[in-house]
Amino acid sequence: MIVALNNKSNLSKEEFINYVEELKKINTNSTLILCPTFINIGLVDGILLGSQNVSKFDDGAYTGEISAKDLKSYNVKYSIVGHSERRNYQKETNEDIKLKLIKLIENDITPILCIGESKEERDNNTYKEVLKEELSILDDIEKDIIIAYEPIWSIGTGIIPTNEEIIEVFNLIKSICPNDKVLYGGSANNDNIDTLKQIDLIDGYLLGGLSLKPDKLEEFLNKLN
């Protein structure tokens, strides 16, 4: 299983150093990908690294941006792109996300493309169209990537879809992108992992809140072993 740890905008320097020490003690068969804040990336050694975002531009006059080339120089192997929090708060569009994807692939960084529908889109039954639209940016991309299905209404809410709902979406994703690994993200935790792990289609998890608690994370990983 692939387990990507999305620290989001959390863990100051000392907190992060202690956190990494705790993470390193965990014994697991899963592949852990740690996605810290940009400022913590340089502090990581001995754990597979991902970033939470990347610039859509190359190096240059783009104040505040971090390019894929610079991430690569810090040994970043994966990058989350299109997280719903960025689509929502930074108004990132599918076009922006495609540009980012291309920069990552050019720099040998595997994108973890987040897709997911809102509660309203789920309720009015337009979610499949939304997901297909989000996946359409992969139409002319040859490289295998990782896709994370994260229903927006599940992120940080404690509410997860039913297994039937997840299976329906995973089948849709895998019919469009048969070679890509697909993760589930959104309130995955120790209370629901026994139910989630009944779904064979799930290749791994993208964890937000749980990523910040190494003891609880260890329990989660033990259940996956």
What stretch of H or E contains 92?
none
Between 111 and 186, CB nearer to ligand PGA: 186
- Catalytic residue (choose from 106, 142, 150, 219): 150
Q: Mark whether 92 is an active-site residue.
A: no
Can residue 53 be called a binding residue for ligand PGA (CB under 6 A)? no
Contact indicator for 183, 196 with CB cutoff of 8 Å: no
Can residue 117 be called a binding residue for ligand PGA (CB under 6 A)? no
Can residue 6 be called a binding residue for ligand PGA (CB under 6 A)? yes
Sign of the CA dihedral 61, 90, 147, 46? positive
Can residue 67 be called a binding residue for ligand PGA (CB under 6 A)? no
3-state secondary structure at position 90: coil
Can residue 187 be called a binding residue for ligand PGA (CB under 6 A)? yes
Q: Mark whether 219 is an active-site residue.
A: no
Can residue 42 be called a binding residue for ligand PGA (CB under 6 A)? no
CA-to-CA dists, residue 15 to 5, 20, 36, angstroms: 16, 9, 12
Q: How far is the CB of 84 from ligand PGA (least distance, A)?
A: 7
Query: Whose CA is closest to 151, among 196, 195, 121, 189?
Result: 121
What residues between 149 and 168 interact with ligand PGA by CB under 6 A? Answer: 150, 155-156
Give the pair of three-digit tokens for residue 47: 């754990």
Report, as residue numbers or ranges, the catalytic residues: 83, 150
